[in-house]
Amino acid sequence: MIPWEGPLPEPGARRLADMADVLAAPEYADRDPSRPLYYMYRDCARSDEDRRWLADHDVRYDITVIMPGVIGPELVKTKGHYHPENPAGVGFPEVYEVMSGRAHFLLQNREASSVLFVEATAGEVVVIPPGYGHVTINPGDEDLVMANLVSTAFASEYAPYARLGGAAYYEMEDGSIVKNNRYPDAGPVRRAVALPVPAFGTGPGVPLYTLLGREESVRFLNHPEDYADAFSGCLRDAGEVSVCAQMP
Ligand SMILES: O=P(O)(O)OC[C@H]1O[C@](O)(CO)[C@@H](O)[C@@H]1O
């Protein structure tokens, strides 16, 4: 069930066949190519007035539903993408809210020298800072339902992930984190805790939809260059995550 009081647009589906390039075990993509892994309800709004407000501020509110389960040895996840830089030369950020279920966000900068692992449960809000690509993993046994707010001024970049077989690390069925050998120079995985960001009005228990109508709360999505301090405080380092060098 999606905890959303409003109309839902027709969703886009990401199926196993769409994921062949980013899997720990790509051979599983052929076994059930039409299996849906997640549904993306892009550009949601509860009213025409809200839709106009979102459009006027060049932001989009999406809901994503990620199934529980595995793809061969690894947990179900999103494809993964980077965001380009805005006209000021700073990467577009994004903000997620876990509406129900559990999420693991695996973030990495362009060089994969910095890799962050963020756990979040229902009600938690995670800011993806400029310069970080992201994959979301469903580690739970129920649907993971998330909302996001993001700029409408760019298209996501999938090729860097697809070229290297996905992110720098994979999360396996037993929760172990395994290095993707196509990133020989990837940095260690650092656990990070999502913090409230007063400048954006984000934090646990604050539904993202309540940011609508507050211009100052969504401005960072298109003008990240003005919020360097806020981004530096959106994630707190919580130590290194142990990693397996080989697939189990
Ligand atoms: O684009 P991917 O990597 O398949 O991930 C899907 C997610 O990204 C978004 O496009 C926003 O970045 C959402 O609609 C969705 O949650």
Distance (angstroms) between ligand 1 centre and the Cα of 11 equals 12
Count CB neighbours of 242 within 10 A: 9
Ligand 1, closest atom to CA 158? 3
Residue nearest to ligand 1 atom 6, measured at CA: 78
Phi first, then psi, for residue 132 (nearest 5°) are -105, 130
Residue 203 has phi, psi (to 5 degrees) of: 170, 175
Q: Which residues pair with 134 in a beta bridge?
A: 81, 107
The pocket around ligand 1, CB under 6 angstroms, is made up of 14, 40, 42, 62, 64, 78-81, 94, 148, 150, 156
Residue range 169-185, pLDDT digits in tens: 999 999 999 999 999 99
Distance CA 191, CA 74 (A): 19
pLDDT 10s digit of each residue in the chain, 248 long?
Answer: 999 999 999 999 999 999 999 999 999 999 999 999 999 999 999 999 999 999 999 999 999 999 999 999 999 999 999 999 999 999 999 999 999 999 999 999 999 999 999 999 999 999 999 999 999 999 999 999 999 999 999 999 999 999 999 999 999 999 999 999 999 999 999 999 999 999 999 999 999 999 999 999 999 999 999 999 999 999 999 999 999 977 65
Tell me, yes or no, whether 23 lies in a domain.
yes
Domain membership of residue 73 as a residue range: 12-240
**Nearest alpha-carbon partner for 156 in 66, 221, 80:** 80
**CA quadruple 246, 142, 103, 162: dihedral sign:** positive
Question: Is the Cα dihedral 193, 218, 90, 161 positive or negative?
Answer: positive
Three-state DSSP state, 45? coil
Separation of alpha carbons 77 and 70, rounded Å = 9
What tokens were used for 192? 């990070």
CATH of the domain at 173: 2.60.120.10
User: Does residue 1 form part of some domain?
Assistant: no
Residue 160 within any structural domain of the chain: yes
CB of 147 closer than 8 Å to CB of 63:
yes
Specify if 5 maps to a domain: no
The answer to whether the beta carbons of residues 72 and 23 sit under 8 Å apart is yes
**96 alpha carbon to ligand 1 midpoint, in Å?**
10
At 247 the pLDDT is 67
| Residue pointed to by tokens 């990693």 | 243
Residue 6 maps to a domain: no
Does residue 24 lie in a domain region?
A: yes
Compute the distance from residue 236 Cα to the ligand 1 centre, in Å: 24
Q: Evaluate whether residue 60 is within a structural domain.
A: yes
> What ipTM goes with this model?
0.96
Q: How many domains does the chain have?
A: 1
- For residue 174, being part of any structural domain is answered with yes
Virtual torsion, Cα 165, 153, 146, 219, nearest 10 deg: 130
